């Protein structure tokens, strides 16, 4: 209910609930939100660029989109009138996937070696 979705506005999903994050007073807490999900994707992009600095930004983006995990499930989305509708997960973003750092590293390795 707190997330954005749509093929024209979201490229890829990332975990955004039950995320351990830093908190005040030198502690950690479990939190949720799109800000935490964005950090997962940007951290994965940074991981790729640090290991494979020859990759361009567009190559990193394509790797992130292509290497994600697909799920063949329907998801309940809220409509403008507060009703709910079941929609295939694959229809909720451009890639229809959730970011996967391991797969992204494997794909980056292959891309760099194939040059």
Rounded CA separation 7/95 (Å): 8
Taking a C-beta distance cutoff of 8 angstroms, is the pair 49, 89 a contact?
no
The whole-number pLDDT of residue 35 equals 84
The whole-number pLDDT of residue 1 equals 62
pTM metric for this prediction? 0.85
Q: Tens-digit pLDDT profile for the chain (115 aa)?
A: 667 888 898 999 998 888 899 999 999 999 988 888 899 999 999 999 999 999 999 999 999 999 999 999 999 988 889 899 999 999 999 999 999 999 999 999 999 998 7
Rounded CA separation 92/95 (Å): 8
């Amino acid at each position: 209910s707190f997330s954005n979705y749509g093929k024209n506005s979201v490229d890829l999903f990332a975990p955004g609930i039950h995320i351990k994050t830093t908190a005040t007073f030198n502690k950690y807490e479990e939190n949720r939100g799109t800000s935490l999900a964005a950090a997962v994707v940007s951290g994965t992009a940074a991981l790729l660029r640090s290991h494979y600095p020859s990759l361009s930004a567009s190559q990193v983006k394509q790797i992130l989109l292509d290497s994600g995990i697909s799920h063949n499930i329907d998801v309940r989305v809220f409509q403008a009138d507060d009703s709910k509708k079941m929609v295939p997960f694959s229809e909720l973003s451009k890639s229809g996937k959730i970011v996967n750092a391991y797969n992204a590293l494997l794909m980056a390795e292959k891309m760099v070696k194939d040059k």
